[in-house]
Amino acid sequence: MKILVCISKTPDTTAKIAFTDNNTKFDTAGVQWIINPNDEYYALVRAIELKEADASTVIHLINVGGPDADAIIRKALALGGDEAIRVNADNPDSFGIATQIAQVAKEGGFDLIFLGKETIDYNGSAVGGMVAELLDLPYVSLATRFELNGTTATITREIEGGEEVNEVSLPVVVSCNKGMAEQRIPNMRGIMAARTKPLKVVEPAAAEALTVTETFSLPPAKAGVKLIDPDNVQELVRLLHEEAKVI
């Protein structure tokens, strides 16, 4: 079985966010990059578990980005990926990214395409559905469990107020959510092996960007805290009514 796992480069969750070029670009100065947690913890680790159950499984990684993504790709290889492809394009447009992934997937003949439910920087959750549409494949989003029996997958996903169980024949595109797998840490053997695993760089296919970023902005600063004497209940009620407007 061939699995394609899509991985994105995102800022570390503790990174201080700022913008440049009149608030039209993300300021990358001093930012530490990590594998998008949804791609790593759920999509990649579940693929590794499937490989552990079937040694003939091969895990291919794909990233759409520049050379600065190579470090996080190597980490994904250290976790358990077998080989990787980086499409040499640096465009945040979801359709552009999906087009590059679909082009590689068409040529690879993959049985499964896994990706995280969304990236933690843009939170768009759009790429998975676009990839499936471009490949004319079934798509299951927000998957919390994935079981495989031959060429039939049973996938549990979150829905409003509960869960939904889907049964689908391979190939399929799946976006992975919390519950799909547990976090793993690369061991020394994996780190050393990752240095020699194939990382192929390919030039992007022609793709039209459908979105353009007009501006970024930070959320408003939080208001200061007001301390009320516990005996002054009337003042607390007044503030909740007139200022907080919650009662």
Domains of the chain, start order: 2-220 (3.40.50.620)
Identify whether the C-beta of residue 61 lies closer than 8 Å to the C-beta of residue 85: yes
Per-residue pLDDT of the chain (247 residues; tens, 9 = 90+): 999 999 999 999 888 889 999 998 889 888 999 999 999 999 999 999 999 999 999 999 999 999 999 999 999 999 999 999 999 998 789 999 999 999 999 999 999 999 999 999 888 999 999 999 999 999 999 999 999 999 999 999 989 889 999 999 999 999 999 999 988 888 888 888 888 899 999 999 988 888 888 899 988 887 778 888 888 989 989 988 888 888 8
For residue 148, what pLDDT is reported? 95
Please tell me what DSSP assigns to residue 227: P
CA-to-CA distance for 51 and 151, rounded, in angstroms?
A: 14
CA-to-CA distance for 128 and 114, rounded, in angstroms?
A: 8
- E-assigned strands of 7-97? 9-11, 19-20, 25-26, 33-35, 58-64, 83-87
Identify whether the C-beta of residue 7 lies closer than 8 Å to the C-beta of residue 35: yes
What is the value of pTM for the model shown? 0.85
For residue 226, what pLDDT is reported? 82
For residue 168, what pLDDT is reported? 96
For residue 58, what pLDDT is reported? 97
C-beta neighbour count of 205 within 10 angstroms: 14
Strand partners, 163: 158
For residue 213, what pLDDT is reported? 85
Q: DSSP labels for 107-134?
A: HHT-SEEEEES--TTT----HHHHHHHH
The alpha carbon dihedral of 126, 132, 138, 144 has a sign of: negative
Please tell me what DSSP assigns to residue 40: I
Identify whether the C-beta of residue 48 lies closer than 8 Å to the C-beta of residue 42: no
